[in-house]
């Protein structure tokens, strides 16, 4: 009998327990193995036990068996080691650390590795993205390599877009006496096609001379880009004596689906039937899955129905794809019904099916049901794998339940399932987003200690964390460090880097990463191209038309997000015509507008006073089954408030509710805030009562809006009494509450009262923010207390706060009012240093101040000339660089300063006409 003595617990455990096989796989206790006797019959027993563990998929049990064999003097032969290595490689997502451990143990116990073991090890490194280690093992002369070894590395390099490097191995193979086979060449042909180098692909075809069915299939599915070209390739294939079968067509359909060309894939499905090749379950499953991914739920269900009617057998894979697609489309109840349907069809759910169900429930936020399914799996002896656990962990992380996520990860280890780099990456990402950096970095260190290296996912999490925390300068160093550790950047990494540097204001670095991505032959997809055009449009390097044209030239089909980016750019320019053109293009391409698309168009229409057009679009949304959300509600309510009539606001409110906007605390708060901004506090109070009656409890936002409303109506007493009502209701004030009170009292000139409320704010542990200082500075400046306002400004800077444009405008205005232009000029320079953009008001204040001084009789002529020159420079910058138009008051002072005596009115009229023409020219450009 075999038993294990555990030093840590002080107890015996049976050999069939769940303890780990090798002590170095996440094992912190040392065990002494005891055996009663060891006759030769134990060799047969161990072999039988090993095979049983493998057959049941319990790989750690098999590993423990080999470990015991070595301990008791029955060394396993190479066949057993190879079986375990191959099974770990086949059944793990990131297997390299497990396979390499077993490989090194095999060598340590005196069993020399053969080419089969080496191939599995190299494949595990390739599978985990550790390409450099795979290449170094390939070039190690200790174990002889074969064609399979080279093909494994060639396929991995091609998969990462490194086709040129992969091609270099052909000559190396010949030098080492290993002949490339058709698999080698077909892999390279496929690789060149994927990166768009069709010339090299064709050259390889010519080099091998004769093509087989696989080569023809690769060329049809990859090399050609239209149905007409596929027809031509089909003819060539037939002329060569090969007839495409269902596998060929399924491969082409799969390729089209992967590129998002689902419509063409559907057409090809009909074409294959016309030539007498009938789709099988694989063909249908591929297309159904792709239709779900393309968010064409109706079409996917229709194709599934066609499949059932034609008698194509619906297997477990089809049910799993259908269930997964429904969950991802938000049809959770239908997804659960599909699972019930497969049980009713006597299908036995696999770990993949259960994992899809758990993942769908977790993403829907139904963690209790996911936990129930997880328990059900164990009851039915379907053991969760690393993906199942990762889905649960991801569900907890998304809900902010980080402690539960970590607990599940520790449970994995107890069940002999080692978390992979993606599991760790999910937890690390969640911790970083929650601001728990120290724990995240400890988790990263733990990950490396158990043999897992940071991967592309972890790199992406760290890059995005630095973007959120403003650490863009550290990104380059992080990337260099990760690359030096063997991480090969993928398309997602490059996309994140381009996005980070554009948003961080480093346009040059963003474009450098885009160029590097292009040089490495990394194919662009719609997401990466969307990030690029968003950055270029934001910095004003290109226009929306260029972006759209460039995308189509690259063969990338734009999606709803592409149109949203372009429409957002045009909205900032106020270009309604351009937005409506894109809206029409979007629908003509069969792309269903998203809710964001609708909101962009509605907001632009509302901004330009086209309320009827906005309401018409709201009706179109209902037809398209796009329900308005809170953003839609806010846009319409802000527009209706311009009428300054309560009845119009309430009508708009009712209209939006009838169109599908659900009543919520947020909706009520917006309605109350809109009324309060107009000083309609009685109406707002009535709305709050209705809010309470419907079961929505007023919060800090509600009371803040009411306090502001009373200040707008100059009811200072009521504003302050509302604050005390808020406290009595047990609702805590926030910084915004005090900012509202301080602003209201400052505007009323009650500066002494302000100090009392500032002290109250600090006593509650709240620090003044930029809005607080803006109110304080404005209040002091309006009272003519320049010294106090500048003291507050300096205090604000010392506290690490960046003043807003309005804060600078108040200070500049006060200095200009008393003719202190040097101080005003210095403040404008400060704005530039702190990257605070001056607005129309800033320029108008400065230009008006300079022009006033020019008309002052006591100012010397040389100073007048200097002021005029400065005013001209600012005017040019204002109009030509910023695109701002001076206000009427500024136009008056410009005409007064620059006109000849008696010609002021004519000068003013001429200036206004010039600005109109200039403005029209800017709008057209």
Q: What is the DSSP string of 3-43?
A: EEEETTTTEEEETTSS--SSTTTT--S-EEEEES---THHH
Report the half-sphere exposure of 219 (CA within 13 A, side-chain side): 25
Segment 701-726 shows an average pLDDT of: 90
Using CB atoms within 10 A of its CB, is residue 594 exposed (0-12), middle (13-18) or buried (19+)? middle
pLDDT at position 688 is: 92
pLDDT at position 9 is: 43
H or E stretch including 739? helix 735-747
Cross-strand pairs, 31: 6
The sign one gets for the Cα dihedral 552, 554, 559, 560 is: negative
Q: Is the predicted pLDDT of residue 852 greater than 70, yes or no?
A: yes
Both tokens of 417, joined, read 């399932």
Segment 691-704 shows an average pLDDT of: 90
pLDDT at position 903 is: 56
pLDDT at position 672 is: 92
pLDDT at position 12 is: 38
Residue located via tokens 């080569």: 215
Any idea which of 47-61, 112-126, 328-342, 360-374 has the lowest mean pLDDT?
47-61
Any idea which of 53-62, 529-538, 791-800, 900-909 has the lowest mean pLDDT?
900-909
pLDDT mean across residues, the chain: 80
Q: Is the predicted pLDDT of residue 21 greater than 60, yes or no?
A: no
CB 163 within 8 A of CB 521: yes
**pLDDT band at residue 5, thresholds of 50, 70 and 90?**
very low
Q: Is the predicted pLDDT of residue 638 greater than 80, yes or no?
A: yes
- What does the alpha-carbon distance between residue 321 and residue 269 come to, in Å, rounded to a whole number? 19
């Amino acid at each position: 009998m075999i038993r294990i003595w555990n030093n840590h617990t002080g107890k015996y455990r049976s050999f069939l327990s769940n303890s780990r096989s090798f002590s170095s796989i996440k094992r912190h206790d040392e065990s002494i193995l005891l055996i009663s006797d060891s006759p030769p019959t134990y060799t047969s027993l161990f072999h039988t036990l090993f095979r049983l563990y493998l057959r049941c998929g319990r790989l750690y049990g098999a590993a423990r068996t080999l470990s015991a064999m070595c301990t008791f003097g029955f060394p396993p032969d190479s066949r057993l080691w190879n079986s375990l290595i191959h099974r770990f490689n086949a059944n793990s997502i990131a297997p390299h650390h497990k396979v390499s451990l077993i490989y090194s143990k095999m060598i340590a116990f005196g069993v020399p590795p053969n080419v089969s073991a080496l191939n599995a090890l190299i494949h595990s490194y390739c599978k985990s993205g550790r390409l450099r280690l795979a290449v170094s093992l390939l070039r190690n002369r200790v174990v002889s390599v074969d064609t399979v070894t080279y093909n494994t590395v060639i396929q991995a390099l091609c998969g990462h877009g490194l086709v040129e490097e992969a091609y270099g191995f052909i000559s190396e193979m010949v030098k080492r006496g290993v002949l490339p086979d058709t698999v080698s060449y077909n892999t390279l042909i496929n690789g060149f096609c994927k990166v768009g180098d069709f010339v090299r692909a064709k050259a390889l075809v010519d080099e091998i001379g004769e093509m087989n069915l696989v080569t023809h299939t690769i060329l049809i599915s990859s090399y050609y880009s239209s149905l007409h070209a596929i027809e031509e390739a089909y003819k060539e294939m037939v002329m060569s004596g090969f007839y495409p079968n269902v596998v060929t067509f399924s491969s082409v359909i799969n390729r089209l689906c992967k590129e998002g060309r689902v419509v063409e894939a559907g057409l090809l499905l009909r074409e294959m039937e016309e030539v007498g090749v009938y789709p099988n379950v694989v063909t249908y499953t591929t297309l159904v899955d792709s239709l779900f991914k393309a968010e064409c739920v109706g079409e996917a269900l229709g194709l599934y129905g066609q499949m059932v009617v034609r008698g194509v057998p619906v297997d477990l894979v089809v049910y799993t794809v259908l269930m997964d697609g429904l969950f991802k489309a938000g049809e959770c109840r239908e997804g659960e019904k599909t699972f019930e349907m497969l049980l009713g069809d006597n299908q036995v759910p696999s770990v993949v099916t259960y994992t899809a169900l758990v993942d769908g429930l977790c993403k829907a936020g139904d963690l209790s049901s996911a936990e129930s399914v997880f328990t059900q799996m164990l009851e039915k002896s379907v053991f969760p794998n690393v993906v199942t656990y990762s889905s649960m962990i991801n569900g907890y992380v998304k809900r902010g339940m980080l402690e539960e996520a970590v607990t599940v990860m520790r449970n994995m280890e107890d069940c002999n399932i080692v978390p992979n780099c993606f599991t760790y990456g999910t937890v690390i990402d969640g911790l970083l987003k929650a601001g728990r950096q120290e724990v995240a970095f400890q988790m990263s260190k733990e990950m490396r200690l158990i043999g897992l290296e940071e991967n592309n996912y972890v790199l992406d999490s760290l890059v995005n964390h630095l973007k959120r925390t403003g650490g863009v300068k550290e990104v380059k160093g992080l990337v260099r460090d990760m690359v030096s550790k063997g991480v090969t950047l993928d398309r997602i990494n490059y996309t994140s880097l381009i996005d980070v540097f554009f948003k961080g204001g480093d346009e040059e670095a963003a474009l450098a990463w885009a160029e590097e991505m292009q040089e490495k032959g990394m194919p662009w997809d719609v997401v990466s191209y969307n990030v690029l055009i968003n950055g270029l449009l934001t910095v004003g390097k290109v226009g929306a038309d260029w972006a759209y044209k460039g995308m189509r030239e690259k063969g990338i089909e734009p999606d709803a997000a592409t149109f949203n980016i372009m429409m957002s750019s045009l909205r900032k320019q106020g270009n309604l015509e351009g937005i409506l053109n894109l809206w029409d293009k979007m629908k003509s391409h069969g792309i269903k507008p998203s809710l964001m698309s609708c909101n962009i168009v509605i907001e632009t229409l509302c901004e330009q006073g086209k309320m009827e057009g906005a309401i018409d679009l709201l009706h179109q949304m209902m037809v398209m089954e796009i329900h308005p959300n809170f953003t839609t509600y806010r846009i319409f309510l802000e527009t209706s408030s311009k009428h300054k009539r309560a009845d119009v606001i309430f009508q708009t409110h009712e209209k939006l509710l009838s169109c599908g906007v659900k009543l919520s605390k947020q909706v009520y708060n917006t309605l109350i805030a809109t009324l309060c901004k107009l000083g309609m506090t009685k109406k707002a109070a009535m709305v709050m009562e209705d809010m309470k009656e419907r079961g929505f409890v007023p919060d800090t936002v509600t009371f803040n809006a009411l306090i502001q409303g009373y200040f707008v109506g100059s009811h200072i007493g009521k504003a302050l009494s509302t604050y005390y009502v808020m406290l009595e209701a047990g609702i805590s004030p926030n910084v915004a509450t005090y900012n509202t009170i301080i602003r209201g009292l400052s505007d009323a000139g009650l500066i002494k009262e302000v100090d009392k409320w500032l002290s109250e704010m600090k006593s509650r542990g709240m620090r003044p923010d930029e809005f607080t200082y803006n109110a304080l500075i404005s209040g002091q400046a309006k009272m003519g207390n320049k010294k106090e306002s500048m003291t507050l400004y300096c205090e604000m800077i010392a506290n690490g706060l960046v003043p807003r444009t309005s804060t600078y405008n108040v200070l500049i205005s006060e200095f200009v009012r008393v003719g202190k232009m040097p101080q005003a000029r210095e403040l404008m320079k400060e704005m530039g240093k702190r990257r605070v953009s001056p607005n129309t008001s800033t320029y108008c204040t400065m230009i008006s101040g300079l022009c006033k001084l020019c008309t002052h009789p006591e100012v010397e002529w040389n100073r007048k000339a200097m002021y005029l020159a400065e005013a001209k420079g600012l005017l040019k910058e204002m109009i030509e660089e910023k695109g701002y138009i001076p206000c009427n008051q500024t136009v008056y002072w410009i005409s007064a300063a620059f006109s000849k005596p008696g010609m002021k009115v004519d000068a003013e009229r001429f200036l206004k006409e010039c600005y109109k023409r200039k403005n029209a020219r800017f709008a057209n450009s």
